[in-house]
C-alpha cells in the first residue's frame, strides 16, 4: 500500500500545494488543520509520516511533536517540521523536540517530496525501498516475491507482511501486540495467538531441512529475525 502522509497545516493554500505534490509523487495524504486534529488523526489513521507546520493556532507544531514522542505508540513516527525562514533558533528547538527533519518555508515542492522520501527510507525501509535483504533472504517489495538462498518462497499476504515487518528491524524483538498493530492494523481485533499461527506458517515456508531457522522465539517477549540466533 502507498505510504500515508499526514499534512498538518492551518493555511489551506499551503496544505493544498503539499497535498497535490505528495499525491503526484504517489503518496496518500490526509490533512489536519490544527494540532488537536493532528493528534486525533495520528491515532485514527496511523499515518506513515507527518509533515508538521510549526505555526498552528493553539497547540503548536512543537508541542504536537513533543506529544508524539512522549507516546510509546507514536514515538517512532517520522516527523518533518515546517517553519519560517531565518528562524535558526527554531531549527534547533525543532530538532530537540524530536523532529526527524526540518524544512524552511517557502520551499520547492520537489525539495519537500525528496525530504519525505529520505526520512521514510531511514525510518521505514519497506515503504521507500523496492527491495529488502537479510542473510540469504531477499524480498522484492514491488513484485511481492521472496527468495531464500535463490530458491523461491511462496507466502500468503499475512506471512509476507510479517516477514517484511521483521526484516525492517533485524534483531529487534517484536511483541505479539506490536506485530498485531504493524501487520494486521491497530484497530482490528485479532487474538494474540493468531500471530503464533502465522509465524509457524512463515517458518514452514522459509525453512527446509538444510536451512537454519532465522526466526527467534523470545519466551515471554515475542519474535525477532536474527542471524545470531542460538
In the complex with Ca ion, the residue whose CB is nearer, 53 or 90, is 53
CB of 34 to Ca ion, least distance (A): 10
All three cell numbers of 91: 531549527
Residues 17-56 that bind Ca ion (CB under 5 A): 53, 55
| Closest approach of Ca ion to the CB of residue 155, in Å | 44
Using DSSP's 3-state secondary structure scheme, residue 108 falls into: coil
The H-assigned helical ranges of 1-108 are: 12-24, 35-45, 61-70, 88-96
CB of 53 to Ca ion, least distance (A): 4
Integer Cα distance of 110 and 135 in angstroms: 35
Q: Is the peptide bond before 104 cis (omega within 30 degrees of 0)?
A: no
Count of residues for the chain?
A: 230
| Positions in 165-224 near Ca ion (CB under 5 A) | none
DSSP state of 182: I
10 binds Ca ion (CB under 5 A): yes
What does the alpha-carbon distance between residue 149 and residue 54 come to, in Å, rounded to a whole number? 48
DSSP conformational letter for 71: S
Q: Between 67 and 169, name the residue whose CB sits nearer to Ca ion.
A: 67
Interface with Ca ion, residue 90, by CB under 5 A: no
Query: Which residue number, 9 or 48, has a Cβ lying nearer to Ca ion?
Result: 9
Cβ-based nearer residue to Ca ion, 65 or 180: 65
State in angstroms the smallest separation of the CB of 103 from Ca ion: 13
Q: Quick one: 175 exposed, middle or buried, by C-beta within 10 A (0-12, 13-18, 19+)?
A: middle
Closer to Ca ion at the Cβ: 49 or 51?
A: 51
> Cβ 9 to Ca ion, closest distance in Å?
6
Report how far residue 140's alpha carbon sits from residue 92's, in angstroms, rounded to the nearest whole number: 38
Task: State the minimum distance, in angstroms, from the CB of residue 18 to Ca ion.
Answer: 11
The answer to whether 104 contacts Ca ion (rule: CB under 5 A) is: no
Q: Which is nearer to Ca ion, 53 or 159 (CB)?
A: 53
Question: Which residues are near Ca ion by CB under 5 A?
Answer: 10-11, 53, 55
Amino acid at each position: 500500500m502507498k505510504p500515508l502522509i499526514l499534512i498538518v497545516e492551518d493555511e489551506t493554500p499551503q496544505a493544498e500545494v503539499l497535498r497535490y505534490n505528495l499525491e503526484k509523487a504517489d503518496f496518500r495524504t490526509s490533512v489536519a488543520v490544527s494540532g488537536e486534529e493532528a493528534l486525533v488523526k495520528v491515532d485514527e489513521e496511523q499515518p506513515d509520516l507527518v509533515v508538521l507546520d510549526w505555526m498552528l493556532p493553539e497547540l503548536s507544531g512543537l508541542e504536537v511533536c513533543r506529544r508524539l514522542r512522549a507516546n510509546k505508540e507514536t514515538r517512532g513516527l517520522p516527523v518533518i517540521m515546517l517553519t519560517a525562514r531565518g528562524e535558526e533558533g527554531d531549527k534547533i528547538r525543532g530538532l530537540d523536540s524530536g523532529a526527524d527533519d526540518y524544512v524552511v518555508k517557502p520551499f520547492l515542492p520537489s525539495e519537500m517530496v525528496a525530504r519525505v522520501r529520505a526520512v521514510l527510507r531511514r525510518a521505514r525501509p519497506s515503504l521507500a525501498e523496492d527491495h529488502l535483504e537479510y542473510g540469504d533472504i531477499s524480498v522484492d517489495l514491488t513484485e511481492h516475491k521472496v527468495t531464500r538462498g535463490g530458491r523461491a518462497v511462496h507466502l500468503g499476504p499475512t506471512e509476507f507482511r510479517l516477514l517484511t515487518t521483521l526484516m525492517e528491524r533485524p534483531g529487534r524483538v517484536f511483541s505479539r501486540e506490536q506485530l498485531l498493530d504493524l501487520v494486521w492494523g491497530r484497530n482490528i481485533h485479532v487474538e494474540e495467538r493468531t500471530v503464533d499461527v502465522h509465524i509457524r506458517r512463515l517458518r514452514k515456508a522459509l525453512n527446509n531441512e538444510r536451512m537454519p531457522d532465522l526466526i527467534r522465539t523470545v519466551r515471554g517477549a515475542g519474535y525477532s529475525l536474527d542471524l545470531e540466533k542460538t
